[in-house]
């Protein structure tokens, strides 16, 4: 409900910062209280812009800079009666006096009083302390001026080779933008994979696609120096050198906490401003939202910093409502994200397997591969889904999806399921939209739930590709029967070393032959292309006396993805640039 404050006793609300959190806070404060005096101070030129759209402006997919502007000061003034002052920087907060010091574009400093203050100061790009990072050909991509400067450089005609440092979502989008501009791209990442938030086997298809598209991937490499001015050469810690005409640093962000610290606000262990679920800080008159705050992770309950646009918008809305007298709460975050790299899309919600292990959780993992729509309708493409669930309760803890089409739909379904605390068995019961152009009768999200629920109920034992690789590399070679139940033709085109091939449709007739290969007391791992036929084989063998039969999660497709992940994680000797491009 909106505030009933009268015009005779207006509330003075000051918002520091615009973009996602600040602009959302200011407009929600107005909708909550018509009579409040609301002032927004933004040190930059643009109070509300789509920072997630910057790479697409850089590539030209968004043709006009003005298309990035979500709201202008004049619009906010007309529609919401907000006093928006761009190029005004708040330099300090006097919490005792409830005033902020504001410096305008001419350098003049004045004081502004508040009854409620909302800090939405955002974040700044991480820039390593290395030689050459302040050169004119070394840039970041976080603001509209950043994107404008990069676009001018790219279109200037003397940029051919681009170095992207950081293979997170922004780094991948920047790499795609440069590829679309016809440039040579080298992507450097400290971790031995692209998209470090994903598990390695889920990120490997993205790396493969970028490699095929012409991106030179330097994974597991640390940037040591950037030599600028010309000749522009980047040097890695390994000694490898990479010439470049333009370098873009996409190493993440750090929260802008100067004002919060100056105001005496409590900073938490995760490195952000401590707020309650109403976005109220340790000062009863100051709210905070966006990249600077700590949030509760919905799955773990831990405090985390999650600098993403979605949470920032929602946090700003809650802060604005409550500063104006409302009563909204912010539940928490999952870290849901999605990114497109060329023709491949990947995303994640909740915990990865690696993160769950770090939390000490006993988890089960499922891998499935499904077409984005009915396979009998031409044009379907495969997507890979990975679920992570609590082994004891079956609660879904996280999910990852990689594919060409339909990734967003399944990821959103699974994000809702994680947020709602659903079990993998609940996914079996989902009633999702189905028609051949859009899905299958068993939607990929449902199929992932079916497989995970079978594992949770112990209808079938399961082993991941990484687990199988570890068993095969053990001293006794695993000491188990490895059975490929695909067709002979499939097996001939490629198989896991050491596997015996008996097609699933011949299995019952060849059980004696199978027992000769491995007695019923000997453990067995069964696999097919995606895990479906091998599931049937495992059930048959279990009911016919084999005691320890595990299905390879995701089948041979997951085995290949794991091998690709291992390939990209291997250290590579340094090479000269000319040789690297052969």
Angle at 47 between CA 43 and CA 49, to 5 degrees: 125
Q: What DSSP assignment string belongs to 205-242? A: HHHHHHHHTTPEEEET--EEEEE-SSSPEEEETTS-EE
Among 52, 250, 363, 528, which one carries the catalytic annotation?
Answer: 52
- β-pairing, 123-125 with 524-527? unpaired
Cα–Cα distance measured from residue 273 to residue 265, given in angstroms and rounded to the nearest whole number: 7
Please say whether the beta carbons of 351 and 388 come within 8 A: yes
Cα–Cα distance measured from residue 73 to residue 507, given in angstroms and rounded to the nearest whole number: 71
DSSP letter at 461?
E
Cα–Cα distance measured from residue 293 to residue 246, given in angstroms and rounded to the nearest whole number: 33
Handedness of CA 112, 117, 118, 119 (dihedral sign): positive
**286 alpha-carbon distance from chain centroid:** 30
Residue 155's nearest CA partner among 147, 166, 167, 163 is 147
Cα–Cα distance measured from residue 381 to residue 541, given in angstroms and rounded to the nearest whole number: 32
* 52 annotated active-site: yes
Q: Report how far apart, in Å, the C-alpha atoms of 117 and of each of 26, 125, 260, 416 are.
A: 11, 25, 11, 33
Backbone angles phi, psi at 112, to 5 degrees: -125, 130
State the catalytic residues: 52
């Amino acid at each position: 409900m909106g505030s009933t404050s009268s015009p005779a006793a207006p509330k003075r609300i000051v918002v520091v910062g615009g973009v996602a959190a600040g602009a959302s806070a200011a407009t929600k404060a107005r909708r909550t209280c018509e009579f409040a005096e609301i002032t927004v101070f933004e040190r930059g030129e643009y109070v509300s812009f789509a920072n997630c759209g910057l790479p697409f402006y850089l590539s030209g997919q968004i043709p006009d800079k003005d298309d990035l502007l979500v709201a202008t000061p004049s619009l906010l003034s007309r529609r919401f009666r907000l006093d928006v002052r761009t190029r005004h920087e708040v330099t300090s907060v006097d919490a005792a006096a409830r005033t902020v010091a504001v410096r305008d574009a001419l350098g003049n400093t004045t004081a502004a009083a508040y009854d409620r203050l909302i800090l939405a100061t955002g974040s700044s790009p991480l820039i390593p302390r290395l030689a050459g990072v302040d050169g004119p050909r070394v840039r970041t991509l976080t603001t509209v001026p950043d994107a404008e400067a990069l676009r001018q450089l790219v279109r200037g005609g003397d940029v051919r080779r681009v170095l992207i440092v950081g293979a997170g979502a922004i780094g991948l989008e920047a790499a795609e933008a440069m590829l679309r501009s016809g440039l040579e791209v080298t992507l450097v990442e400290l971790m031995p994979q692209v998209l470090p938030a994903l598990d390695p086997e889920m990120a490997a298809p993205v790396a493969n696609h970028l490699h095929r598209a012409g991106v030179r991937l330097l994974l597991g490499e640390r940037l040591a120096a950037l030599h600028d001015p010309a000749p522009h050469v980047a040097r890695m810690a390994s000694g490898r050198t990479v010439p470049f005409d333009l370098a873009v640093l996409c190493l993440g962000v750090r929260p802008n906490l100067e004002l919060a610290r100056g105001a005496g606000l409590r900073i938490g262990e995760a490195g952000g401003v401590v707020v309650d679920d109403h976005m109220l800080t340790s000062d009863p008159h100051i709210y905070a939202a966006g990249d600077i705050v700590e949030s509760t992770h919905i799955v773990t309950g831990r405090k985390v910093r999650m600098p993403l646009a979605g949470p920032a918008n929602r946090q700003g809305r809650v802060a604005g409502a409550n500063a104006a007298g409302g009563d909204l709460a912010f539940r928490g975050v999952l870290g849901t994200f999605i990114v497109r790299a060329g023709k491949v899309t990947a995303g994640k919600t909740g915990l990865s397997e690696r993160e769950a292990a770090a939390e000490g959780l006993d988890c089960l993992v499922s891998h499935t591969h499904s077409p984005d729509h009915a396979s009998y309708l031409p044009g379907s493409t495969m997507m890979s889904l990975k679920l992570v669930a609590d082994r004891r309760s079956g609660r879904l803890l996280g999910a990852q999806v990689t594919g060409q089409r339909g990734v967003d739909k399944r990821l959103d379904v699974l994000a809702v399921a994680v947020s709602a605390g659903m079990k993998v068995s609940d996914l079996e019961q989902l009633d999702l939209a189905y028609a051949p152009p859009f899905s299958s009768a068993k939607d990929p999200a449902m199929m992932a739930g079916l497989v995970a629920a079978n594992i949770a109920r112990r209808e079938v034992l399961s082993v991941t590709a990484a687990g199988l690789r570890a068993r095969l590399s053990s001293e006794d070679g695993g000491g188990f029967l490895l059975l490929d139940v695909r067709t002979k033709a499939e097996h001939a085109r490629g198989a896991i070393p050491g596997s015996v091939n008996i097609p699933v449709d011949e299995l019952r007739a060849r059980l004696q032959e199978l027992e000769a290969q491995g007695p019923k007391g000997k453990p067995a791992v069964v696999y097919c292309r995606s895990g479906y036929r091998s599931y049937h084989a495992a059930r048959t063998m279990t009911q016919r006396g084999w005691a320890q039969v595990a299905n390879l999660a995701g089948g041979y497709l997951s085995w290949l993805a794991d091998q690709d992940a291992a390939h990209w994680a291997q250290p590579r000797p340094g090479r000269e640039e000319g040789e690297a491009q052969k």
